[in-house]
Amino acid sequence: MAIEANPAKSRATVSESNRSRILKHLYHNGISSRAQIAKALDLTPAAITKITARLIEAGVIEETGDIEGSKNRRSIGLELDTARFRIIGIKFARSLVQIGVFDLCGNALSLENLPTVYDDTIDDTIAIIHERITQLLADDPSIVAVGMAVPGPYLRNEGRTAVVSSMQGWRRINFIKEFSTAFRVPVFTEQDARAGALAHYLFDPAVHTEANLSYYLLGEGVGLGVIDNGRLINGYLGAATEIGHISIDVNGRSCDCGNVGCLERYCSTPAIHDMLIEDGEVVPGAAAMTHTDAVRALFAKAREGDERAREMIREIGRYVGYGCVTIFNGFNPRHIIIGDIVAEAGPLLLDEVRRTVDERSIPELNETTSITLSTLSADAAVSGAAAVAVTQFLEHPSMFFDVS
């Protein structure tokens, strides 16, 4: 049931909206004739001719050879060449920053990890990011935007993160002030798991036509992005769908956010790292490792058949499963796609997640919801950072090209 308000649209926004609809049609459907576009979008042939002429002039789309039209008539095809435009995607986590260059379909052309970030090296990391972006933009004129994915809760209008449990230093960083006007191309920022949901929506052939999907990020934080009926759930400040701070036990472990029993305190990499340090045996020397290295050592041990390591993964899987049950009852998506470092545990984890969900979820929801591990070639949040910018490119073309 759509109950949207009626924003008073100016004529300029109507033209922009039609430009956007044409670009999205070409993005999702590939080469199409003007007549096909006119029919699909219920626009007049005259309007199509006018708008596409300007997009061709601006170099955004181009004419291809003849294609098969209706009634066997040949007509000229139009194409948005998704390899011609490139996007920088950057994923921020507590201690990890990844930078990649992607085409409009989310294919990674390059991908690099910056040095591990500590509370006292955040300023250095910010300086390196500026440098790398500047260099990439200088080297490649086809880059048209930068997308950034940051840990939630991300206050989108303010440009900063509300709480980053294990690393308060990032809260000082205002992403909008720091980056938005620093480069020759626009910069867009989104909460990381929401970026991951966009990545699957735009780039994942297995689910990209699904209007109800969620990306469940299990890494240095625990996050969630939900696309409900084709739209991201954002909340008033952009802080909705923060599954990591939803309590699964009101008498449980305390969290820096103020809440008690936050899911993040049970199945993020810092929580698993704590578990390994306390255990002391499964991963010897865990205390001296980074969160990621310690967790990967656990997963390696489990793959070697170590029963205690396997039992720990099953315990983590139960908590991940409790989170899935909350996602079922909170958001009722069609797909839950699990990604980030904890997902590297693979089928052993996923089996326990599914067992927990089988026990605790409403049968009708269990029957109709798939739970899978992300199979995107790059991490969904870093390709998702690019997806955030691709979405803007398709939604607001006049920000990127002179189409007047």
Amino acid sitting at position 111: L
Q: Which of residues 29-88 bind its own copies (CB under 8 A)?
A: 39-42
The 8 Å CB, 24+ separation contacts for 122-131 are 122/169, 122/170, 122/172, 122/173, 125/97, 126/173, 126/178, 129/90, 129/97, 129/99, 129/179, 130/182
User: From the CB of 87, what's the least distance to its own copies, in Å?
Assistant: 15
User: From the CB of 211, what's the least distance to its own copies, in Å?
Assistant: 6
- Residues in contact with its own copies, counted by CB under 8 A, come to a total of 81
Report how far residue 379's alpha carbon sits from residue 96's, in angstroms, rounded to the nearest whole number: 12
- 253 contacts its own copies (rule: CB under 8 A): no
- For residue 193, the surrounding DSSP H or E stretch is helix 192-203
Stretch that binds its own copies, among 18-26, 47-55, 114-122, 284-292 (CB under 8 A): 18-26
In the shown chain, the binding pattern of residues 377 to 396 toward its own copies, with x for contact by CB under 8 A and - for none, equals -----------x--xx--x-
Closer by beta carbon to its own copies, 203 or else 299: 203
- 154 contacts its own copies (rule: CB under 8 A): no
40 Cα distance to chain centroid: 28
Closer by beta carbon to its own copies, 245 or else 310: 245
323 Cα distance to chain centroid: 19
- DSSP characters for 96-139? -EEEEEEETT--EEEEEEPPPP-GGGHHHHHHHHHHHHHHHHHH
Closer by beta carbon to its own copies, 169 or else 330: 330
User: From the CB of 218, what's the least distance to its own copies, in Å?
Assistant: 17
Report how far residue 333's alpha carbon sits from residue 323's, in angstroms, rounded to the nearest whole number: 13
- Contact predicate 119/168, CB 8 Å: yes
Stretch that binds its own copies, among 5-13, 68-76, 99-107, 305-313 (CB under 8 A): 5-13
196 Cα distance to chain centroid: 2
- 258 contacts its own copies (rule: CB under 8 A): yes
**3-class secondary-structure state, position 194:** helix
* Position among 30, 45, 59, 235 found at the interface with its own copies (CB under 8 A): 235
- Contact predicate 42/63, CB 8 Å: no
* Position among 317, 333, 339, 384 found at the interface with its own copies (CB under 8 A): 333
Q: Which of 165, 143, 198 is nearest to 376 (CA)?
A: 198
Q: Which of residues 357-376 bind its own copies (CB under 8 A)?
A: 359-365, 368-369
Q: How many CB atoms lie within 10 A of CB 258?
A: 9
Closer by beta carbon to its own copies, 181 or else 229: 229
User: From the CB of 281, what's the least distance to its own copies, in Å?
Assistant: 26
- 227 contacts its own copies (rule: CB under 8 A): yes
- Contact predicate 317/219, CB 8 Å: no
- 233 contacts its own copies (rule: CB under 8 A): yes
User: From the CB of 110, what's the least distance to its own copies, in Å?
Assistant: 26
User: From the CB of 96, what's the least distance to its own copies, in Å?
Assistant: 23
Q: Which of residues 168-207 bind its own copies (CB under 8 A)?
A: 190, 198, 201
Stretch that binds its own copies, among 62-70, 226-234, 294-302, 374-382 (CB under 8 A): 226-234
